[in-house]
A and B are shown apart, each in its own frame.
Chain A
Amino acid sequence: MLEVNKVNSFYGELQVLHDISLSVSDGEFVVAFGPNGHGKSTLLKTICGLHTATSGSIKFDGEEISKLESSRVVQKGIVYVAEDRHLFPEMTVLENLKLGSFNINARTKEAENLQYVLELFPRLKERIDKPARTLSGGEARMLAIGRGLMSKPNFLAIDEPSLGLAPNLRIDVFEKISEINKEMGITILMVEQDITEASTYCNNIYLMEDGRIVFEGNREEIMKNKHVKAVFLGEE
């Protein structure tokens, strides 16, 4: 479904992504782990057309998307859920969700998707008329994911959904994402810092360091790897 091939990306003079290659198949739940500041967000933003790749190719269902404008990328069903959420603070929960279905493909399914999102996150239903700025951290995270689902995605790129959440809420969020993946058949590429919890939910794992992919495999393979133990789990 998604093929990223030798992508390089810069912020000004600073190279953030170095020859990144990865692939995600239809229906998979893939997680890329890496420490803070190692290019994870940039990777997702580059895939979603929110940041430009300097070189390399990004193919979605065989079609090159690396040069497309963000609104076109969203129309293809590739949707970014931001780590810092980027909600519309003065607008209500409902208005935020409605904006999720701005693209032409999502518009016709708005009512249906809204119903699904409110069933998935009943808390949002209770707060439907409240401005987004009044939401708690956990609720805002739900709204960010819910707004992403309103865009009728085939592919969700989720940026550190557990960031800043209490441990019990983190598990909640991961379970919901797993549910979205299994029940709606939406392919997911998620990035996370903490490998221990999130790795139990996914099919395939990539590890990122300094803007490079340093390892690919499933959970068992990764847990056995010495380098991983040292860098990501802090074990000797």
Chain B
Amino acid sequence: MTYQLAQVLISGIALGSIYAVMASGMSLVYGVLRIFNFAYGSFAMWAAYFAWFLFNHFAWMTYPAVFAIVLPAMFLFGLAVEKIAIKPLRQRANWEILAIIATTGLALFMDNTSLAAFGPIQKDLPFIIKGTMNLAGFEVSRHEMLTLGVGISIIASLQVFLKRARYGLAMRALAQDMMGAKIVGIPLNRAFGYTFALSAVLVGISGILLVPRYFISPSGGWEIMIKAWVIAVFGGMGSFIGTLYAAFILGIVEAIVIWQLGARWPIVIWFLILIVTLIIRPGGLLGARE
């Protein structure tokens, strides 16, 4: 029992690290552009479909090559979506509401394009590495350990980017005081574009890493979108640190719930936790402070 629990916890932490990558992209867009991207999960599916396509058409394909091709593509795709679908709305009144409609429409478009191109049958990706390894006496999957490592290094890099890089500082500035950001001469359109593109990269990474835990399917993005939303709201919308806590807590919760109750229950328990949290702290875990 204890042995199993420890294994479940390790697996939950590994899952949490991917969730952290996934939710920080959504939280970033909300913090900087003040909108929700309802096509967020569809972005993940497109990235995963792209990876599947590469693996199936090029025998020599490896994960580093997949990331090297898919992630720049996601960046450009994010830039394009922001420019075509979001930027024209910004001049209008109530544009946050219009953005919800626009991104929902985009999600439907993307999902149906996937359906037309790849069909309704779920797709899978190969394991990054097969087999198990011994970690302090516990038998753990190598694939999970690797995703944990990748997840943590991406979160750490994102943190460094937001603290040090010019556009990282600019994104935080925009989230904290948009007028102040204009005063110091940050070009809003460009900064918004980069933010959206960065979030597309982050959800693209998580879309690929979540396979094979999740399969790739035309409507598979909705679960990712909802989960990213729950994590971001639970952590406190726009709070980077809050999002990290939330991702790891909910990742561990998911692993335990699957182990004890079965695979149908995690999202139910997640919403219960979210509702109770919002009753006690309406801003989420760390929402009020930032």
Contact = CB atoms under 8 A, between A and B. Distances in A.
Interface of A: 48, 50, 69-71, 73-75, 79-82, 85-91, 95, 98-100, 102-103, 147, 151
B129 to A, nearest CB: 40
A79 B177 CA distance: 17
Interface of B is mostly: helix
A86 B166 CA distance: 19
A102 B184 contact: yes
23 contacts: A50-B183, A69-B187, A70-B182, A71-B188, A73-B185, A79-B185, A82-B179, A82-B183, A88-B177, A88-B180, A91-B169, A91-B176, A95-B172, A98-B169, A99-B184, A99-B186, A102-B169, A102-B184, A102-B186, A103-B184, A147-B184, A151-B184, A151-B185
A194 to B, nearest CB: 24
B290 interface: yes
B186 A87 contact: no
Contacts of A86: 177, 179-180, 183
A50 B180 CA distance: 10
B177 A87 contact: yes
Nearest to A101: B184
Q: Which 8 pairs show the lowest CB-CB distances between chains A and B?
A: A74-B185, A86-B180, A71-B187, A103-B185, A88-B176, A70-B182, A71-B185, A86-B179
B170 interface: yes
Given A50-B179, A98-B169, A102-B170, 4 more contacts: A82-B183, A85-B180, A89-B176, A90-B176
A73 B183 CA distance: 10
A75 B177 CA distance: 20
B73 interface: no
- Counting chain A CB atoms within 10 Å of each CB, the highest count among B169, B170, B179, B183 belongs to B183
A88 B179 CA distance: 10
A72 to B, nearest CB: 8
B249 interface: no
Given A90-B290, A95-B169, A100 B184 contact: yes
Interface in B154-179: 166, 169-170, 172-173, 176-177, 179
Contacts of A88: 172-173, 176-177, 180
A73 B182 CA distance: 10
Given A88-B173, A99-B173, A50 B185 contact: no
A195 to B, nearest CB: 26
A91 B177 CA distance: 11
A60 to B, nearest CB: 15
Interface residues of B, number: 18
Given A86-B177, A98-B169, A99-B173, A71 B183 contact: no
B183 A70 contact: yes
Contacts of B173: 88, 91, 99
A102 B180 contact: no
A56 B177 CA distance: 29
A91 B183 CA distance: 16
Contacts of B177: 86-89
B183 A102 contact: no
B243 to A, nearest CB: 15
Contacts of B186: 71, 99, 102
A75 B186 CA distance: 10
A68 B151 CA distance: 42
B179 A74 contact: no
A107 to B, nearest CB: 8
A29 to B, nearest CB: 21
Contacts of B169: 91, 95, 98-99, 102
A102 B290 contact: no
B66 to A, nearest CB: 35
Contacts of A95: 169, 172
A73 B188 CA distance: 13
B172 to A, nearest CB: 6
A19 B179 CA distance: 26
Contacts of B290: 90
